[in-house]
Each structure stands twice: as structure tokens, then as C-alpha cells.
Amino acid sequence: MCHVIVTCRSMLWTLLSIVAAFSELIAFMSTDWLVGFPRTPDAVFSPQGATVAGEAYRPTLGIYGRCIRLPHLRRGVLCGPYAVHFGEIASGFWQATSIFLAAAILLLSAVAFISVFTMCFQSIMKKSIFSVCGLLQAIAGLFLILGLMLYPAGWGSDKVQGYCGPDASAYQLGLCSMGWAFYTALGGTVLTFICAVFSAQAEIATSSDKVQEEIEEGKSLICLL
């Protein structure tokens, strides 16, 4: 018989797990990791800065995508991948970042999917689902840390210098600034470790004495604060 067990701590862990997975996925797909120096569609970089020939804008560069403004486009900014193949990503460091982030997102997505069913199934093969998911989240968090640590090492690539100026180098932004996607990925990493720790509390909440008492009373839907 399936016992549906809903507690505040287990539901909070499920919600945070889903938010962590989505935040990392959105950040990875975004082009707003770096915000370039102000320019116009016809601007050329010089030591003094970008030439001013019209309305200035700031292009953005992601791990594999970018947003630029082309003069012949009426719709304005063109966003899309600059790397058609994996080998075309700006640098080897960013390729490594892509691998670590993709692996972490895969693990987090799996945990987010499984977490929805923890209301009905709390163990699998005599192993606590919460413990297994917490371990997977901790591993994903380590992958995210490695990816985010390697990401600034790729700022010296030719692609980044085209957006940030010739002074850009490893761990030196040059004329660029960090975009919201990097901070979203960083926040998602912190949230991932919070979820990994909080999974233990979710397990405790769903296996407490109160839950066992209600199971013994024959209840199939158990809701506890």
C-alpha cells in the first residue's frame, strides 16, 4: 500500500531541489555571463575605448552563445550560439566548464524529478531516497564549483578579448562586467549544497514517530507540519 507522506520539511526540500536545477539550467543556457564594453554596431575597439557612431549598446557573451546588434537587422539584437560544435567553444577551460555544468545539471534534474515522488516512495532497494538524492546533490555541487572555478581561466581567449578588450586575460575581466547568469549559477551552487544538507532533515521528517503512528492507524494520506 502506498502511503503519501507530506511534511513541511520534505516539501521545502523538493521545492528547493527543483529551483536549484532550474536556476543552473537557465544560467547555463543564458548568454549573459559576460557583459562587454559599450559599442555601436559599427564600433571598432581602440586603446581609448569604442568609437561612438550612434546608439551604444553592450553585447553579452555566454559559454556557447552571444547577443550582438547588427546594423542590417531591424529587430535589433541577435542572440544565438556562436559555437555550432563543442570544439568551437571559446577555450578549453570553457569546454571543461560546459562538461562539469552539464553533468551537474543532469544530476540535479534527476534529483528534482525523483523528489516529486518522495511523497509516496521514501526508499528504493532498502536505501533512503533522501540520502541518495542528498549524495547526488553534493556531487553536483562539487561539479558546479569546479566549473565555476575554471570559467574565469578562459577569459584570455580571443573570443573574450573581442568583447572585453585586449586587457582581458585569465581571471582578469578587462572592460567587461559579470552578467546575471554567473551570479545565478553561483546562487544555484549554494542552494545545491543547502539541499544536500537539508535532505537529511527531509528524511527525518518523513520517518518520525508521528508518521509511523499514523501509518499504524491505517491512514494512506499523512500530512504533518
Helix (H) or strand (E) holding 128: strand 127-128
Domain ranges across the chain: 7-31+91-223
Q: What is the pLDDT of residue 51?
A: 45
Q: What pTM was computed for the model?
A: 0.84
Q: What is the pLDDT of residue 183?
A: 97
pLDDT in tens, 137-179: 999 999 999 999 999 999 999 999 999 999 999 999 989 999 9
Task: Kindly report the three-state secondary structure assignment for every residue of 14-59.
Answer: HHHHHHHHHHHHHHHHCCCCEECCCECCCCCEECCEECCCCCCECC
Say which CATH topology domain 7-31+91-223 has: Butyryl-CoA Dehydrogenase, subunit A; domain 3 (1.20.140)
Return the C-alpha cell found at 188: 544555484
Task: Compute the Cα dihedral for 101, 169, 81, 59 and give only its sign.
Answer: positive
pLDDT confidence tier of residue 204, bands split at 50, 70 and 90: confident
